[in-house]
């Protein structure tokens, strides 16, 4: 799943839980029309069936709760593992004369070195996530506080395009964030080279990654 799909999934789960809690609170307070506080919500037939099925009804409810808890733990584990893991696999590109494998970690370090080749870039951090054929590329650069930003956008864009040509793939999602080395928060570098403080993203291209920033 992509990062956008993960965000949609967790947003949907959160909204579902909030809606369930809101309905339960409204029932308890008697805010719903036709419902008074203390009213029995379940019908008499359902309560009778529950009692007749005892103790299996309680066991079935407990089993359903355990399955829901196990599913939640599995999903949380997958999410945490995806968040921890930068992409440490290999990028395989089959060809008519064989298969080429490129390790992800050296490629990320190579892009970091390429980005810091400009003396205005103090540090760079590159993280690869997602599926190998179309990885998600996350780049963070720290710029010297007294540096001129004219041409810096082109430097970063050229380095990313060079990385894409070397790896033989285009990122499915590209996110580049710039931060002043001595500033308290991220900055936005406008096309004119003017620094605008307290923006969170920089050089954000189209999500398909079909062209450079």
Is pLDDT at 63 greater than 90 in this prediction? yes
Give the highest mean pLDDT range of 78-82, 92-96, 181-185, 206-210: 78-82
- Gap between the Cα atoms of 102 and 56, Å rounded: 56
Q: Are residues 100 and 78 in the same domain?
A: no
Q: Does residue 122 belong to any structural domain of this protein?
A: yes
Q: Are residues 95 and 157 in the same domain?
A: yes
Return the pLDDT at 196: 40
Nearest-5° Cα angle at 93, 156 to 101: 85
The span from the first CA to the last CA of the chain, in angstroms, equals: 24
Q: How many domains does the chain have?
A: 2
Q: Are residues 136 and 163 in the same domain?
A: yes
Q: Print the domain residue range for 153.
A: 90-197
Q: Are residues 75 and 123 in the same domain?
A: no
Sign of CA dihedral 207, 89, 109, 92: negative
Is pLDDT at 13 greater than 60 in this prediction? yes
Looking at 57, 84, 111, which one is the last position of a domain?
84
**DSSP alpha helices (H): ranges in 30-151?**
44-52, 56-84, 104-115
User: Are the C-beta atoms of 107 and 91 separated by less than 8 Å?
Assistant: yes
Return the pLDDT at 91: 52
Return the pLDDT at 201: 44
Q: Are residues 66 and 107 in the same domain?
A: no
pLDDT in tens, 156-212: 889 988 888 877 778 888 888 888 876 444 444 443 343 444 333 444 444 443 333
Q: Which residues does 39 contact at the CB level (< 8 Å), separation at least 6?
A: 30
Is pLDDT at 92 greater than 60 in this prediction? no
Give this prediction's pTM: 0.41
Q: Are residues 73 and 136 in the same domain?
A: no
Nearest to 100 by CA among 50, 159, 167: 167
Looking at 54, 84, 114, which one is the last position of a domain?
84
Return the pLDDT at 203: 45
Return the pLDDT at 19: 92
User: Are the C-beta atoms of 180 and 124 separated by less than 8 Å?
Assistant: no
Sign of CA dihedral 113, 107, 4, 153: positive
Structure tokens at 125: 């951090």
pLDDT band at 146 (very low <50, low <70, confident <90, very high): confident
Is pLDDT at 20 greater than 70 in this prediction? yes
Return the pLDDT at 29: 80
Pairing of strands 173-180, 136-143: parallel
Length of the chain: 213
Is pLDDT at 28 greater than 70 in this prediction? yes
User: Are the C-beta atoms of 143 and 179 separated by less than 8 Å?
Assistant: yes
pLDDT in tens, 30-54: 777 777 776 667 777 877 888 888 8
Spell out the SS3 assignment of 16-56.
HHHHHHHHHHHHHHCCCCCCCCCCCCCCHHHHHHHHHCCCH
């Amino acid at each position: 799943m992509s990062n956008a799909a993960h965000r949609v999934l967790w947003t949907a789960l959160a909204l579902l839980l909030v809606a369930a809690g809101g309905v339960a609170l409204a029932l308890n307070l008697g805010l719903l029309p036709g419902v008074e506080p203390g009213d029995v919500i379940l019908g008499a037939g359902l309560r009778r069936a529950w009692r007749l099925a005892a103790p299996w009804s309680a066991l079935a409810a407990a089993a359903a709760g355990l399955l829901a808890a196990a599913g939640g733990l599995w999903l949380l584990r997958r999410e945490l593992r995806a968040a921890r893991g930068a992409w440490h696999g290999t990028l395989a590109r089959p060809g008519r004369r064989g298969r080429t494998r490129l390790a992800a970690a050296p490629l990320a370090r190579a892009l970091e070195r390429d980005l810091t080749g400009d003396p205005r870039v103090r540090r760079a951090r590159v993280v690869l996530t997602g599926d190998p054929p179309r990885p998600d590329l996350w780049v963070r650069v720290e710029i010297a506080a007294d540096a001129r930003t004219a041409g810096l956008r082109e430097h970063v864009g050229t380095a990313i395009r060079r990385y894409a040509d070397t790896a033989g793939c285009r990122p499915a999602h590209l996110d580049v964030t710039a931060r002043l080395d001595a500033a308290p928060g991220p900055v936005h570098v406008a096309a004119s080279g003017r620094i605008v403080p307290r923006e969170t993203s920089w050089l954000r291209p189209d999500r398909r990654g079909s062209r450079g920033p």
